[in-house]
Chains A and B, each alone.
Chain A
Amino acid sequence: MNESDDQKGNNPAGSPPQQSNHDTPMLDHLESGPWPSFISGIKRLRDDHPSDRVNGMANDLLGQLEHSYQTKKGYWKGGTVSVYGYGGGIIPRFSEVGDMFPKSREFHTLRVQPPAGNHYSTDMLRNLADSWEKHGSGLVTFHGQTGNIMFIGATTDNTQHFFDEINEYGFDLGGAGPCVRTAMSCVGSARCEMSCTNEHKVHRSLVNNFTDDVHRPALPYKFKFKISGCPNDCMNSIERADFAVIGTWRDDMKVDQQAFKDYVGRKGRQHTIDNIITRCPTNALSLKDDDSVEVDNRNCVRCMHCLNVVPSAFSPGDDKGISILIGGKRTLKIGDMFGTVIVPFMRLDNEEDYERLVEIAEETIDFFAENALEHERTGEMIERIGLVNFLEGIGVEVDPNMISHPRESSYVRMDEWDDEAAKWFERRANGDAQVSGGAV
C-alpha cells in the first residue's frame, strides 16, 4: 500500500538546500527537568548528525510531533510493509502530513527480537547502533511493550537493507499482526535466586518452534508467550500473555533457620509478625518461641511474599518446575482476563520434558487457529466455548487446581456423571491425576 509514497521522502541528486529547523515551542518544554529528555535526543540527531538523511528525518519528525502537540492529534497511518519472504514484523507508518514534513514521510518501525533475558554486550549494542544509523533514523527503544527492540523510523526500502544487515549477525524480526508474537522472559536463572526454571531455554524452545507463525501472520489474532521464573511474575505473564509460564516448586520450601533467627534478632518479633507471619495468605507460617519459623508447606501457595522479605532465610524447594496459565489479555474486546491454570505443575528436566511443553503450545495454537473467531484472543475463545471444551481440544484432563471454586449454577446437564467420577478415581489410582500437584 502507498508504494507511490516511496520516493517522495528522498532528495533528488545534488546537494539539498540547507534545512531550516522547525520551531518546536511545545516540545522545548520537555527538555527541562532532571529526567533524560527524548526530545533532546532527537534534537541531537537533527543538530549534530553529519548525514543529511538522518538530520533531515529528525527535523521533520520533530516538526510533525510539534504539530501533534499543537493540535492534540496523531498523524500516522498504517499500511503494508514487510521484508522479502515475511509477512509481518514491521509496523508501517506513513505520514498524513508528509507534504509538510517530507523527510519523515515514511517512518516504519522494525520489531526485532531481543536475546532471551534482554542481555547484550556493549559491542553488540554498538553493532546495532551502527547498522541502524546507516539505514534508519537513529532512534531505538530497548524495548517496546511487545518485548521487541523497536527500531523506529525507516523508509520502505531501508527496512529491507537494515534487516538484511542485522539478520546476518543473528537478529530476526519479531511478530506484528495476528501471529505468534515476540516472547519475553525475565532475568531469571542468570541473576535471581527466586528462579525455578531455565527461563532462557523455555523462552527459546517455545517461540523458536513457531518462527513461521511469527513471520507470517495467519492466526485469528495475536498469541503471546511470556515466561517468569517465579510467581513474582516480573514479566506480567498472567495478565498479558496468552501462554504464561511461571516457575514454581512442588516440595517443601527451604528454610535457613539461623538466617531467620538473625532476621528476627535484627528486626524484632513484632516486625516479623506484622511483615511476614500475618502476611502469609494461607496462614502457613508460625513464629516459634525460639524465634525459628514453622512452615505448613502443604498449605503454602508459593505466593513468594516471605521469600521476598527474607531471601536469605527462605528459598524455593528442590523439586522445581513450571505452571502454565492460558488466556491472559487486556480489555479488547470483552474485558480484561487473567490467564488460568491449565497445567498446575510439570518438571522440565530433560529434552523430553521440553518437547512435551512445546507440544502443549502446539496443541493450543492449533486449536486457537481452528476455533477462534477473527480478532478473538485465546482467553476470549475459552470464555465463549467453556474451559472444558478447550481442555478436550488440547488433550488435557480437568484438575481442581484450574478453578477458584466449583460451579455455583445448577443449570447444567450431567448425564455422564458416573462415568466422569469413575474416570477421576481411575486417574488417581494410576497416579495420573494432577490433584495434590501430580505432574502432567
Chain B
Amino acid sequence: MATEAVKKPKKQMRPAIESGCPDGMQYLHPVMLRNFGQWVDHQHPRPGVLCHVAASGEKIWTVRAGTQRILDVYTLRKLCDIGDEFGDGHVRFTIRSNIEYMIDAESKVEPLIGALTDAGFIVGGTQNSVAMISHTQGWLHCDIPGTDASGIVKSMMDELIHEFTNAEMPNRVHITTSCCQINCGGQGDIAINIQHTKPPKINHDLVANVCERPSVVARCPVAAIRPAMVNGKPSLEVDEKKCICCGACYPPCPPMQINDPEHSKLAVWVGGNHSNARSKPSFQKLVAAGIPNNPPRWPEATAVVKKILAAYKEDAKDWERINDWIDRIGWPRFFEITDLPFTKFHIDNWRGSRKSLNSSSHIRF
C-alpha cells in the first residue's frame, strides 16, 4: 500500500489558452451589428429607457435596470430569463453594474419593464438621474476594508430610489463609495470614502515575519515609518506626529492595522467629473468628514448625501454637474446652503496645494 502512495500519478496540468479579451461583436444584437458605427441620434423616451437611431433608420431600444451588483447565480439566471422572454437575448452591463437589455421594437419596452419591476429590479439610472452608486467589495471580500461599501450602497439606494427611477436632477449624478483611501470606487460627483483618523496600531510580533520592511518604509507618502527594534524583534515604528493616517502601509504590512472600529470615519467629497463637457475633467473635493462608520445602514452618511443632492437639485442650472454648479456659485455659498461646517481641514496642504487657494479679489458677497 505504501508503494502505491509513492506511485501517485503526477497531475497533468492543462496549459492555458492565452486568449485575452474576448470579442464582444459576437454578442451584439443584430440591429447593433448591422449599424455598428452608423448611429446618428438618440432619444430618452422615459427614465431608464434609451432609443438610438441609426443612419439606416433602424432603431434599438435599451432598458436599463439597477441590480444588487453582487449577484447570486439565481439572480443572474432570473435576469437571463427576463432577457429571453421579454427581450432579444442580448444584454450588456454598464460601468456602474446596471444591466441593459437591447430590443428592436418599441412594443417590447413596457412588457420588459414590467417583468423587471415584478422581479424586483429597478428600472432607471439614465440621463439626469442619480445613477447607481459605483463601489467595490468591502468586508465581503477585500483584505483592507474600513467599511462595507455594498451595505452603504444598498442603504443609500433605498433612500435615493426616486432619484434613480426619475430624471429630475440638473444633470447626471455619479456617486461612488470606497472602503479605504485608495478609492477604488473612483471619482464621483459625490464620493463617500473611509478616512482614517488614527495612526496604525502595530502588532510588533508579526512584522518581521509578514512584512518586507524596506518596501513598507518606501510606501509611506510622508516618510513617517522607519525600521526599529521593538521588544528585541525587528519591526517598524511610526512617527505619529508625521503620520497622515492614509493607510498606505497597511496593504503591504497587515500587522500595521489601520482600521479602527471607532476612529475610522466616513468623509464625503464632491465635484469629481470624468467628462470633458463644458469644463475639463475634475477631481473630487472634501466637503464633510467625521461621519460615523455606522453599519448596518449608515444613516448619517445618507443624510449628508441627501442634503447635498437637495441643494444641487434646487440651485443648479440645467446641465450643470455638481462641479459646474459649485464653480458658478462658489465654495462659500456651497457651505452656506448645505449647512456643512467649513474647517481648517478643507484647506489643502499637499504638494501643489497653493494652486487651490484664491489668489485674487474675486469674492462673492
Q: Is the CB of B19 within 8 A of A41?
A: no
Please list the residues of chain A having a beta carbon within 8 angstroms of any beta carbon in chain B: 26-27, 29-30, 32-42, 44-45, 48, 61, 65, 68-69, 71-78, 83-86, 91, 93, 107, 109, 113-126, 129, 132-133, 138-145, 150, 152-153, 163-164, 167-168, 170-173, 182-184, 186-187, 189-193, 195, 198, 200, 203-204, 207-208, 211-212, 214-215, 231-240, 246, 274-275, 279, 281, 301-305, 308-309, 311-312, 315, 330-336, 338, 374-375
Asked if A126 meets B77 with Cβ closer than 8 Å, knowing A109-B141, A115-B21, the reply is yes
Q: Is the CB of A116 within 8 A of B70?
A: no
Stretch of B177-185, B232-240, B357-365 contacting A (4+ beta carbons < 8 Å): B177-185
Q: Is the CB of A193 within 8 A of B40?
A: yes
Q: Which 5 A-B pairs have the closest CB atoms?
A: A33-B158, A115-B24, A68-B139, A72-B261, A41-B72
Checking B25, B66, B95 against A35 with a beta-carbon cut-off of 8 angstroms, the contacting residue is: B66
11 CB < 8 A contacts A-B: A30-B151, A37-B154, A69-B151, A107-B141, A117-B92, A143-B93, A234-B95, A236-B186, A240-B187, A303-B279, A375-B218
Interface presence of B345 (CB below 8 A):
no
- Bound-complex Cα distance A39 to B181 (A): 25
Residue on B nearest A186 in the bound complex, by CB: B95
* A-contact 0/1 string along B126-145, CB 8 Å cutoff: 00000000111111111111
Interface presence of B317 (CB below 8 A):
yes
Residue on B nearest A62 in the bound complex, by CB: B140
Checking A93, A114, A173, A374 against B218 with a beta-carbon cut-off of 8 angstroms, the contacting residue is: A374
Residue on A nearest B138 in the bound complex, by CB: A74
Q: Is the CB of A281 within 8 A of B215?
A: no
Q: Is the CB of A119 within 8 A of B157?
A: no
Asked if A279 meets B278 with Cβ closer than 8 Å, knowing A38-B150, A74-B143, the reply is yes
Residue on B nearest A231 in the bound complex, by CB: B276
Which size class do B's interface residues fall under? 35 or more
Q: Name, among A38, A76, A139, A195, the residue most crowded by chain B CB atoms within 10 Å (CB to CB).
A: A38
Asked if A69 meets B248 with Cβ closer than 8 Å, knowing A76-B141, A304-B275, A333-B221, the reply is no
Least distance between A437 CB and chain B CB atoms (Å): 16
Interface of A: prevailing SS = mixed
Residues of A close to B181: CB separation below 8 A:
331-332
Interface presence of B352 (CB below 8 A):
yes
Q: Is the CB of B140 within 8 A of A214?
A: no
- Bound-complex Cα distance A330 to B248 (A): 13
Q: Is the CB of B297 within 8 A of A30?
A: yes
Q: Is the CB of A281 within 8 A of B278?
A: yes
- Bound-complex Cα distance A171 to B84 (A): 23
Interface presence of B287 (CB below 8 A):
no
Q: Is the CB of B276 within 8 A of A232?
A: yes
